[in-house]
Amino acid sequence: MRPLCLLLLCCLSMSSVALASEAGHRAAAERFLKLARAQSMTAPLYVQTDQLLVARFAQLGGSMQHETLLRKYRERARTLLDRQLAWEAIRDELIELYLPVFSEQEFEELARFYESEVGSKLLEHLPELTRGSMAIARERVEEVLAPQLEQLIEEMGRELELHQLGPTDG
């Protein structure tokens, strides 16, 4: 009986260590996400939603004399977004997303980086750097790649047409 009790006690202590380890991992993930300003990642959605409402309001014939109506619906939309996108609403899902990717130690290293001067600077400038990078890529696609791809497609169409006509006797 004594060995069974020891085995049971050992299993219980191992599960409490595992739970403590999991709790530490989750806490490290949450700390990192807060440092990485994950709670502000939804801000662009608020702007886009507001722009959409204003545009639709205008399309529906709304004018400035009905601005109070627009304001009312903007507030309702914000309430909906707050309910679904607030940090408290998405925190657990974000943590679950990050947990399998980084270990507790890696979260701690990331947190130390984001707390550093250069890490803070990166966080401060990351949105504008991301926007700039996307603008460069979009410009390259529109000005360089799109015409080249269009030419490639036309060339493919001509070659396909030749193949569909079959060999000609000449």
What would the two tokens of residue 92 be? 């657990």
Q: Please classify residue 52 by burial: count the beta carbons closer than 10 Å to its beta carbon, then call 0-12 exposed, 13-18 middle and 19+ buried.
A: exposed
pLDDT of 42 higher than 80:
yes
pLDDT of 127 higher than 80:
yes
Q: Are 29 and 99 in contact (CB under 8 A)?
A: yes
pLDDT of 43 higher than 90:
no
Using left for φ > 0, alpha for ψ between -120 and 50, and beta otherwise, residue 114 falls in: alpha
**For the chain, what percent of residues have pLDDT higher than 90?**
40
- 109: confidence class by pLDDT, cuts 50, 70, 90: very high
Say how far apart CA 110 and CA 113 lie, in whole Å. Answer: 5
- Give the pLDDT of residue 2: 61
- 40: confidence class by pLDDT, cuts 50, 70, 90: confident
**CA distances, 79 to each of 44, 58, 82, 86, 92 (Å):** 15, 22, 5, 10, 20
pLDDT of 58 higher than 50:
yes
Say how far apart CA 139 and CA 146 lie, in whole Å. Answer: 10
**CA distances, 129 to each of 118, 136, 138, 139, 160 (Å):** 15, 10, 14, 15, 43
- 36: confidence class by pLDDT, cuts 50, 70, 90: confident
